[in-house]
Amino acid sequence: MEFFLQLVLNGLVIGSIYALVGLGFVIIYKSSSILNFAQGEFLMLGAYVCLAIFTSAKVPFLVAFALTLAFSALLGVLMERVLLRPMIGEPVISVIMLTLGLASVLKAVVQAIWGTDTRPYPEIFPTAPVHIGPLPVSQGYLYSLGSVAVLLVLFTLFFKLTRAGIAMRATAFSQQVALSMGISVKRMFALAWSIAAVVSAVGGVLLGGVRGGVDGAFAFFGLKVIPVVILGGLDSIGGAIVGGFVMGILENLSGGYLDPVFGGGVKEVAPFIALVAILTVKPYGLFGKVKIERV
Q: Is 96 in the site for another protein (CB under 8 A)?
A: yes
Residues 16-55 that bind another protein (CB under 8 A): 35
Least distance (Å) between residue 98 CB and another protein = 5
The piece of 62-70, 171-179, 185-193, 278-286 that touches another protein (CB under 8 A) is 278-286
Tell whether residue 79 is a contact of another protein (CB under 8 A). Answer: no
Of 80 and 215, the one with the shorter C-beta distance to another protein is: 215
Greatest extent of the chain over all pairs of C-alpha atoms, in Å: 61
Is residue 262 close enough to count as binding another protein by CB under 8 A?
A: yes
Among 55, 57, 88, 101, which residue interacts with another protein (rule: CB under 8 A)? Answer: 101
For another protein, which residue of 70, 74, 81, 118 counts as binding (CB under 8 A)?
118
200, 227, 207, 86: which is closest to 145 by C-alpha? 207
Q: Which range touches another protein (CB under 8 A), out of 46-54, 68-76, 152-160, 277-285?
A: 277-285
Choosing from 8, 143, 211, 286, the residue that interacts with another protein (CB under 8 A) is 211
Which one of the spans 52-60, 69-77, 94-102, 190-198 is the region binding another protein (CB under 8 A)? 94-102
70, 81, 88, 94: residue in contact with another protein (rule CB under 8 A): 94
How many whole angstroms separate alpha carbon 89 and alpha carbon 190? Answer: 18
- Asked if 134 interacts with another protein (CB under 8 A), we say no
CB of 163 to another protein, least distance (A): 31
**Cβ closest to another protein, residue 146 vs residue 264:** 264
Inter-residue contact 38 to 222 (CB < 8 Å): yes
For another protein, give the closer residue by CB, 115 or 146: 115
- Asked if 8 touches another protein (CB under 8 A), the answer is no
Is residue 132 a contact point for another protein (CB under 8 A)? no
Dist. CA 39–CA 17, nearest whole Å:
12
Give yes or no for residue 173 binding another protein (CB under 8 A).
no
**Closest among 251, 252, 246 to 287, alpha carbons compared:** 246
